[in-house]
Structure 1
């Protein structure tokens, strides 16, 4: 392919071709595009011209690139409501997405000073930690850590080993319902481990949500921290 005066620039023709691929469903949100070398071979141009065409789609928000990983099809951010009743599965189903949770680790440990304060415990009291990955339509959108007071929730460790759902686990140990007592949102940068799980680049922007859930008695039953991929979730605050 050669550029000819008065005709569409080759880089623009490449952008148009890739845009058509997206519209026809050849690539779907989360898919990785072929490498620059493969695209250069497909279009018969050099990699610089391919890079120019892909950059046009990045500016349009159709493609996102990750240093050292390549170019990926961008997805529409998932609407995620944060209010008095935060429920992962319900939120994603309401947004028309397929919810999924993957357990990364389960462990019993001592509460830090900050965690103890949030859960109304003494520093060093035992808590059960649930580390996990949240996905929407198979794409990772957040990593999280949920902490539960062991003395207050007998059997929570066994319940969480049998289900990835916090709501189901709490119900199994006598907490049929719970509400959010407080939420704090903070912009942070992705650590190397978080970047690996979320398939982003270390240092990319994340939005951290910290919250305390309480039972009907008002006692804290969960202190959770969630790190959302900044470009994949739109958080909605509800009263």
Structure 2
């Protein structure tokens, strides 16, 4: 601590917490700390900079506001991975979205079952209530990091063996549809909302229980707008950035 100056002020007139925050931000930008790394504890940094640990915590809060770190009780202060841009337009494909940014995408089918279609799903798909539907749960990763999980609903009669086809396609809906003879489809609607993650969602996405997630309820259709597919997705809020584009061709 500089003699004769308050704890939160340095000799150059700048605040101590800001100087610490700037130093840590520079270390993150230079790759000294990678996404997922935990920063030194406030006690250790307070000793290094000769300040009170509350000053370091203020620096952490500033970094969190900038989206550079996530402060979690019991887990410390971790470097936040950059947010992945995800475009929402007339045509939506996770692999196309991330591929354009040079990010490899992978996926997996976690579970599948045939269910009696609920009224809300059958209405959207233009099917009689009670129609047998696939309910297929998937997990998507970008650059090896889990970014989203979802449940897909489709007609069993129209898409027999779709669970196997989707698994063989690495959970790519686009590839699975092509295997079923559908060369093109469009996004008819997307509804976005936010809530807190359930324990299962947190475990799948490797985020803290109760962390913010973005939900997407989407309806896909043939080019003539005949509905064929519903997907209810949950995305890790801190890892995704939704980019809404005009729904034109």
Q: Which residue of 2 aligns with 1:63?
A: 69
Q: Which residue of 2 aligns with 1:199?
A: 206
- What SS does the corresponding residue of 1:231 show, helix, strand or coil? helix
Output the TM-score relative to the length of structure 2: 0.80
Q: Deviations over 1:91-148 (max 9, x none)?
A: 1122343323233322332222211212222333222222122232233322211112
Match of 1:189 among 188, 191, 196: 196
Q: 1:102 to 1:3 in 2, by over 3 A?
A: farther
Q: Distance in 2 between matches of 1:97 and 1:38?
A: 36
Name stretches of at least 5 consecutive residues in structure 2 with no aligned partner: none
CA contact under 8 A between 1:134 and 1:141: conserved in structure 2?
Answer: yes
Displacement of 1:85 in angstroms is 0.8
Between 36-45 and 201-210, report the one with greater CA deviation. Answer: 36-45
Q: Does 1:231 align with 2:238?
A: yes
Q: 1:66 to 1:207 in 2, by over 3 A?
A: same
Q: Distance in 2 between matches of 1:43 and 1:24?
A: 20
Q: Deviations over 1:3-58 (max 9, x none)?
A: 54453766555434422321220222343434556656776877545433322322
| Matched pairs, number | 238
Q: Does 1:20 align with 2:26?
A: yes
Q: Distance in 2 between matches of 1:110 and 1:130?
A: 13
Q: Distance in 1 between matches of 2:193 and 2:55?
A: 39
Q: Which residue of 1 aligns with 2:166?
A: 160
CA contact under 8 A between 2:221 and 2:227: conserved in structure 1?
Answer: yes
Match of 2:221 among 201, 214, 235: 214
Q: 1:171 to 1:139 in 2, by over 3 A?
A: same
CA contact under 8 A between 1:66 and 1:200: conserved in structure 2?
Answer: no
Output the TM-score relative to the length of structure 1: 0.83
CA contact under 8 A between 2:109 and 2:166: conserved in structure 1?
Answer: no
Q: Which residue of 2 aligns with 1:118?
A: 124
CA contact under 8 A between 2:136 and 2:163: conserved in structure 1?
Answer: no
Between 222-231 and 14-23, report the one with greater CA deviation. Answer: 14-23
Between 150-159 and 223-232, report the one with greater CA deviation. Answer: 223-232
- What SS does the corresponding residue of 2:238 show, helix, strand or coil? coil
- What SS does the corresponding residue of 1:33 show, helix, strand or coil? coil
Between 137-146 and 163-172, report the one with greater CA deviation. Answer: 137-146
Q: Which residue of 2 aligns with 1:146?
A: 152
Q: Which residue of 2 aligns with 1:89?
A: 95
CA contact under 8 A between 1:131 and 1:145: conserved in structure 2?
Answer: yes
